[in-house]
Amino acid sequence: MLLERYLDDLAAATMQEALGLEERPRALLRTTQDPKFGDYQINGAMALAKRLKKAPRDLAGPIAEAMAKHEAIAKADVAGPGFVNLTLDAGWLGRQLAAALGDARLGVDAVEAPEKIVVDFSSPNIAKQMHVGHLRSTIIGWSLVQLYRAVGHEVIGDNHLGDWGTQFGLLIVGMREFGDEGALEKDAIAELERVYKLASKKAKEDEAFAESARAELAKLQGGDPENTALWERFVATTRQTLEAIYARLGVRFDEWLGESAYDAMLPGVVETLLEKGIAREDQGAICVFFHDMDPGAIEGAVEGYALPKRLRKQKQPFIVRKKDGAFLYSTTDIATVLHRKEEMGADRSVYVVGAPQALHFEQLFAVMRLLGVEMGLEHVSFGSVLGEDGKPLKTRDGKTVKLKDLLDEAEQKTREIVEASRAEGKLRIAEEDLDEAVATIGIGAVKWADLMQNRATDYKYDPEKMCSFKGNAGPYVQYQYARVRSLFAEGGLEYEGFEAPIAPEHEAEVGLARVLIRFGDVVHRAAEGSLPNLICDHLYEVASAYSRFYTQCPVLKSEGETRETRLGLAALAGRQLEKGLELLGIEVLERM
RNA sequence: GCCCCCGUAGCUCAGUCGGAUAGAGCAACGGUUUCCUAAACCGGAGGUCGGAGGUUCGAAUCCUCCCGGGGGCGCCA
């Protein structure tokens, strides 16, 4: 069950009845920040006090009295200026947890109105290595796919590849002039990158060369068989390299609809924009100007749509066709939304793209509203990965960090630490499981480090800290999971499908229970706000509450109901750690 | 020129719809192992929430201005 939603409804209904109000008031239920205030607090009495011209504590009194009668509530007190502090009944709490333990969804109820959501993430360019810039989109995007699914939505993960556009003209003429067939066979991306660099340099110096690149691009876009075959080869070989990285990261896509998939729609898109008066020609280019736009005058625009203030102040246009007739990614993005709405029947389209592109998406979404599209459009933006110096992460010699190298480094550091720990006899990883364990821990560490902070802010990438395995880090959480599994193995008990009645009594049992009960609420809040860091927060709390519990409460040596309770709590902690990590795209190990 | 984001402990970061004494981790300091994994646990210390006004019963959170840092904005994606 979703406890917070349940309690909030309960509190609001109780307030209405106890105070004899005509309307349902807002209960303003919050978790307490200190256990001495109980588990939850109702703050609504203070908000009501002014309107009802009464002292907040006089309102809080009857609310507390009525709340205390409910079976879920052990204690309800008025405190401070008018808080109503609620302490959950331990027996009731235990019954809810036992039910969650026997529930395949672990108490994460499905949303009432499931939606079809397209998550647009990762989206690397063809003919280029994936680099740090793709790290966050790939990791956050994959987590969101899991999160939306966990709360009952239908999700389509779409890799919107950069597989079309100007660079292909350069690649075609470049391969002809500088290309090495053998190298292309061996390591396609490295060869394509090398050729692209040479070609783009030459194009800047040699106008005839640049012209032939444009001509080849035009031929490609016109369907020329020879160029199309070359392009297909570039795409296919690049994709192999990409698949290897995704396999390593455990990321999968339902669709790989790159920019090329929308090519045929582009002239029509521009034509429609011109017809409706959304775009106009300016200096040879087709532009959408927002500063002098009146959405009310656009036929078919979303009823009552008002342009964001920020766009009204933006004098620079949103360009949908260049003066040379070529289309841009803005045009492709418009076509993509139309495709997702009309062909895929999506209710929402979510873009996991860095914060610097915020303006582009604001403009894109505005154009879609002007076209009358009402589907949900959301830019899930995130900050940059910075180096030690606080500037965008680069290698020592100033180059972009390749994603593969970053992952290799993380695994290397992990291997050193794991081997040292094994030598000291601290870990129980078998020799033959070492490679797999290093990969699971190392990749998990990278993902945790990325997901644990609020995605909005930039963060400093620190491999030492990430792999140090102390405190709030992925390996710590994985380790606590392994301890749960080890407990069951030690006791000769079946972990999978384990169920038991739960009746917490010991302080550490109750402490763990009051963390575990929040899981469903946390998953929903994370999905609603597209905030995987909330899952990290919760899992870290579960892991540390479990570790505290484990230190204070002997499990296998206890007996009767106490043993049942402790095993039940341990099993549920294990389930939440495993499921929660899965939502982050992080795998677990049974033994560490 | 216009716009957006960020500023919280020595460091890295949380902080939900405005709630009580602003929280974690790391580092540093002190302690815990005949006991189911010590990659663990326990304890103390560490703060003018960039600054100044304002709104509010109540502000790190909302509004205005200022300072500092980062980023974006006509023909790349």
- Position A469 pLDDT exceeds 80: no
Long-range contacts, A339-346 (Cβ 8 Å, 24+): A339/A257, A339/A261, A339/A262, A339/A265, A340/A118, A340/A375, A341/A373, A341/A375, A344/A116, A344/A118, A344/A156, A345/A116, A346/A116, A346/A117, A346/A118, A346/A156, A346/A375
d(CA A134, CA A443): 15
- Position A400 pLDDT exceeds 90: no
Which residue, among A77, A115, A71, has the nearest Cα to A95 in the 3D structure? A71
Write the single-letter amino acid at A480. Q
Q: Is the CB of A535 under 7 A from strand B?
A: no
CB < 7 A to strand B: residues 434-463, chain A = 441, 452-454, 456-460, 462
Which residue, among A332, A391, A388, A341, has the nearest Cα to A364 in the 3D structure? A332
- Report pLDDT for A496: 95
Residue A103: CB atoms within 10 A of its CB come to 15
- What are the residues whose beta carbons fall under 8 Å from the beta carbon of A129, sequence distance 6 or more? A189, A190, A193, A241, A402, A403, A404
Report the distance from CA of residue A248 to the C1' of nucleotide B16 in Å, as an integer.
Answer: 34
- Position A438 pLDDT exceeds 90: yes
* Pair A571, A495: CB distance under 8 Å: yes
pLDDT digits (tens, 9 = 90+) for A262-306: 999 999 999 999 999 999 999 999 999 999 899 999 999 999 898
Report the distance from CA of residue A33 to the C1' of nucleotide B47 in Å, as an integer.
Answer: 18
> From the alpha carbon of A456, which nucleotide's C1' atom is closest?
B5
Calculate mean pLDDT across residues A477-499: 96
* Pair A400, A394: CB distance under 8 Å: yes
d(CA A145, CA A150): 9
* Pair A563, A187: CB distance under 8 Å: no
- Which SS3 state, helix, strand or coil, does residue A393 take? coil
Alpha helices in A222-316 (DSSP H): 225-249, 266-275, 309-312
- Report pLDDT for A326: 87
Which residue, among A340, A405, A407, has the nearest Cα to A139 in the 3D structure? A407
CA distances to A80, A141, A155, A466, A539 from A144, rounded to whole Å, are 40, 5, 9, 22, 16
> From the alpha carbon of A333, which nucleotide's C1' atom is closest?
B77
CB < 7 A to strand B: residues 499-518, chain A = none
pLDDT digits (tens, 9 = 90+) for A134-149: 999 999 999 999 999 9
CA distances to A17, A414, A418, A488 from A424, rounded to whole Å, are 64, 15, 10, 24
Q: Is the CB of A527 under 7 A from strand B?
A: no
d(CA A580, CA A584): 7
Selection from A209-218, A233-242, A335-344 with the highest mean pLDDT:
A335-344
pLDDT band at A413 (very low <50, low <70, confident <90, very high): very high
Q: Is the CB of A284 under 7 A from strand B?
A: yes
Q: Is the CB of A280 under 7 A from strand B?
A: no
* Pair A406, A135: CB distance under 8 Å: yes
The string of DSSP letters for A533-592 reads HHHHHHHHHHHHHHHHHHHHS-STT--HHHHHHHHHHHHHHHHHHHHHHHHHT----S--
d(CA A103, CA A508): 24
d(CA A132, CA A461): 10
- Report pLDDT for A222: 84
d(CA A568, CA A227): 63
Q: What is the DSSP letter of A400?
A: B
Calculate mean pLDDT across residues A173-197: 87
Q: Is the CB of A27 under 7 A from strand B?
A: no
Report the distance from CA of residue A508 to the C1' of nucleotide B44 in Å, as an integer.
Answer: 22
* Pair A581, A548: CB distance under 8 Å: no
> From the alpha carbon of A521, which nucleotide's C1' atom is closest?
B16
Report the distance from CA of residue A426 to the C1' of nucleotide B69 in Å, as an integer.
Answer: 44
Q: Is the CB of A16 under 7 A from strand B?
A: no
* Pair A163, A128: CB distance under 8 Å: no
* Pair A251, A142: CB distance under 8 Å: yes
- Which SS3 state, helix, strand or coil, does residue A116 take? strand
Sheet holding A73-79, edge to edge: A29-31, A40-42, A83-88, A73-79
- Position A580 pLDDT exceeds 90: yes
Report the distance from CA of residue A457 to the C1' of nucleotide B60 in Å, as an integer.
Answer: 16
Listed range (A93-97, A182-186, A552-556) with the worst mean pLDDT: A182-186
- Report pLDDT for A562: 96
CA distances to A122, A158, A202 from A127, rounded to whole Å, are 15, 19, 18
Q: Is the CB of A469 under 7 A from strand B?
A: yes
Domain architecture of chain A: domains with CATH: 3-88 (3.30.1360.70), 116-123+146-160+266-381 (3.40.50.620), 167-248 (no CATH), 403-583 (1.10.730.10)
The token pair that represents A29 in the structure block: 């239920």
CB < 7 A to strand B: residues 552-571, chain A = 553-557
d(CA A440, CA A587): 6
Mean pLDDT rounded to a whole number for chain A: 92
Rg of chain A over all Cα atoms, to the nearest angstrom = 28
pLDDT digits (tens, 9 = 90+) for A109-130: 999 999 999 999 999 998 888 9
d(CA A58, CA A467): 54
d(CA A400, CA A391): 12
* Pair A481, A588: CB distance under 8 Å: yes
d(CA A448, CA A585): 9
Report the distance from CA of residue A103 to the C1' of nucleotide B42 in Å, as an integer.
Answer: 35
> From the alpha carbon of A473, which nucleotide's C1' atom is closest?
B25
pLDDT band at A217 (very low <50, low <70, confident <90, very high): confident
Q: Is the CB of A199 under 7 A from strand B?
A: no
Report the distance from CA of residue A551 to the C1' of nucleotide B32 in Å, as an integer.
Answer: 11
Query: Which residue's entry shows tokens 């994936």?
Result: A130
Taking the mean position of all CA atoms in its chain, how far away is CA A87?
33
Rounded to 10 degrees, the C-alpha dihedral A273/A274/A278/A283 comes to: 120
Q: Is the CB of A493 under 7 A from strand B?
A: no
Q: What is the DSSP letter of A297?
A: G
* Bases on strand B under 7 Å from any protein CB: 1-7, 12-17, 19-20, 22-27, 35-42, 56-58, 69-77
Q: Is the CB of A83 under 7 A from strand B?
A: yes
- Position A354 pLDDT exceeds 80: yes
Which residue, among A75, A204, A482, has the nearest Cα to A474 in the 3D structure? A482
Q: Is the CB of A324 under 7 A from strand B?
A: yes
pLDDT digits (tens, 9 = 90+) for A17-66: 999 888 889 999 999 988 888 999 999 999 888 778 888 899 999 999 99
pLDDT band at A200 (very low <50, low <70, confident <90, very high): confident
Q: Is the CB of A77 under 7 A from strand B?
A: no
> From the alpha carbon of A462, which nucleotide's C1' atom is closest?
B12
Calculate mean pLDDT across residues A411-439: 90
Q: Is the CB of A390 under 7 A from strand B?
A: yes
Q: Is the CB of A357 under 7 A from strand B?
A: yes
Between these two residues, A210 and A486, which has the higher pLDDT value?
Answer: A486
CB < 7 A to strand B: residues 172-191, chain A = none
- Report pLDDT for A188: 83
- Report pLDDT for A523: 96
Listed range (A191-195, A381-385, A421-425, A580-584) with the worst mean pLDDT: A421-425
Residue A180: CB atoms within 10 A of its CB come to 12
CB < 7 A to strand B: residues 117-136, chain A = 125
% of chain A exceeding 70 in pLDDT: 100
Report the distance from CA of residue A424 to the C1' of nucleotide B7 in Å, as an integer.
Answer: 43
By C-alpha to C1' distance, B32 is nearest to: A551
Q: Is the CB of A168 under 7 A from strand B?
A: no
- Burial readout A264-299 (b: 16 or more C-beta within 10 A, e: otherwise): ebbeebbeebeebebbeeeeebbbbbbeebebeebe
